[in-house]
Structure 1
Amino acid sequence: MKTLTINLPDNLDIEEFEAKMLLAGQLYEKGKVTMGQAADIVGISKRSFMEVMGRFGFSLFSQSLDDLHHDIRNA
């Protein structure tokens, strides 16, 4: 896995978990990563990631029909 360092303004009130969720959720919704990979980015289980996604405004369902079928097979 790659490591990414981001410099954020000091006045930005954001926790590491929230920043990781926002990044992972966006990457998942855009189809750049799988749900499992997104969960790994945040450092939580796939199930936990699925449970937390809604609180951050992300859809559980991918835009791709192939991804949906893959998720259903793996569920």
Structure 2
Amino acid sequence: MQITIEIPRQLPDIMHCSPGDFEKQAKMAMVAKLYEMGKVSSGMAAQMVGLERVEFLLQLGQYGVAMIDLDKEELHVDLENA
């Protein structure tokens, strides 16, 4: 499936990147948000942007998304089970 989004022609120039780089950044931003919302797994998200899972997780910080988003109780249970 493919999604087409209309953007101002000058947007990549404003962002100081090529149209190809802009496309990659926009795709990563969308997939990072889907991951953050719990709509896709890290493995699925990585596949969607053509990265290995670990590489995807390491890039999340650039998009303001936490690699692991556990509340105190979930973290405590994880530590008990480690």
Q: TM-score, normalised by structure 2?
A: 0.66
The offset of 1:58, in angstroms, is: 0.9
Q: How far, CA to CA, are the matches of 1:41 and 1:63 in structure 2?
A: 24
Count residues with an aligned counterpart.
65
The offset of 1:38, in angstroms, is: 1.1
1:5 matched to which residue of 2? 4
2:39 matched to which residue of 1? 32
Q: Percent identity, aligned pairs only?
A: 34
- Structure 1: stretches of 5+ with no match in the other structure: 70-75
Greater alpha carbon shift after TM alignment, 21-30 vs 4-13: 4-13
Q: CA RMSD in A?
A: 2.1
- Bigger relative contact order, structure 1 or 2, given CA contacts below 8 A and separation 6+? 1
- Structure 2: stretches of 5+ with no match in the other structure: 16-21
Q: How far, CA to CA, are the matches of 1:63 and 1:43 in structure 2?
A: 26
1:73 matched to which residue of 2? none
Higher-Rg structure is 2
The offset of 1:57, in angstroms, is: 1.2
2:28 matched to which residue of 1? 21
Instruction: Give CA deviations for 1:5-51 in whole Å, capped at 9, x if unaligned.
Output: 22211121261211011001100011111111111121111111011
CA 1:49–1:18: 2 relative to 1, 3 Å = same
Is residue 59 from structure 1 mapped to residue 66 from structure 2 by the alignment?
yes
CA 1:8–1:61: 2 relative to 1, 3 Å = same
